[in-house]
Amino acid sequence: MIQSINLQKEYNGTAVLNIPELTINKGEIFGLVGNNGAGKTTFFSLVLDLIRASRGKVLINEIPVAKSEDWKELVSAYIDESFTIGYLTPDEYFGFIGELRNMNDTDVAAFLEKFSDFFKDEILGKKKFIRDLSKGNQKKVGVVGAFMGNSEVIVLDEPFANLDPSSQYQLRNIIKEIGKRQDKTILISSHDLDHVADVCSRIVILEKGKVVRDVQKTDTTLAELEEFFTGVKVETSFHDEL
């Protein structure tokens, strides 16, 4: 589904990402974790052709993202607030995204109805511009916009950041529910190990731009991640932590 081959990114001669080979399979909920500066956003930016690689390439369904636009029909994403349109209201924005995704007004309304609890009556019908919403509600608009339509790949950079705890929990369930369909490949980065361990079927740890751990989710995944980042062995199981 997604392949990175000899992928490298340098700034001023300093390598910030170096991934010789990485394949993300169709239907995976792929989690990317690492400390600040590990290269998570850089990797996602290369996948989305927001920046160009110093060496190597990224393929989506065998389409080189740096040489063709065809992959864009397969992918939706929310990286930061620049992915929304701040001078639109959320209602206008969702209508705009719906048009791009070949959804009529009825389709959009039915889709958004599924997120009414997540929105908490703070987003739709309020006639506020997206730029005037709280950071958390801006994040909700961007993430839900990325879920619209029939994209095969959804890329979310730090989707849980700025959300209150109940919204984080709701988003975890939303992502897991979408992932059950097996026709979506979801890429998520997060600083929060608990969120990643809960929702992702596979987790990759980046450190200084390199892949240092690539594991399938098990009952002990969270404990293993905490041990890696803290150096302290955690005896509790994954289920105990949740």
Per-residue pLDDT of the chain (242 residues; tens, 9 = 90+): 899 999 999 999 899 999 999 999 999 999 999 988 899 999 999 999 999 999 999 999 999 999 999 999 999 999 999 999 999 999 999 999 999 999 999 999 999 999 999 999 999 999 899 999 999 999 999 999 999 998 999 999 999 999 999 999 999 999 999 988 778 999 999 988 899 999 999 999 999 999 999 989 888 888 888 888 888 775 654 444 44
**Does 228 reside within a domain?**
yes
Total count of domains within the chain: 1
Question: Which domain range does residue 200 map to?
Answer: 2-80+151-241
In this prediction, residue 55 carries a pLDDT of: 96
In this prediction, residue 242 carries a pLDDT of: 43
**Does 146 reside within a domain?**
no
**Does 103 reside within a domain?**
no
**Does 54 reside within a domain?**
yes
**Does 13 reside within a domain?**
yes
In this prediction, residue 159 carries a pLDDT of: 96
- Cα(202)–Cα(221) distance, integer angstroms: 10
**Distance set, CA 103 to CA 78, 92, 106, 109, 114 (Å):** 19, 14, 8, 10, 15
DSSP state of 128: -
Neighbours of 226 (CB within 10 A): 18
**Does 37 reside within a domain?**
yes
**Does 120 reside within a domain?**
no
In this prediction, residue 224 carries a pLDDT of: 84
Global confidence as pTM: 0.91
In this prediction, residue 229 carries a pLDDT of: 85
**Does 19 reside within a domain?**
yes
Which CATH number fits the domain that encloses residue 213? 3.40.50.300
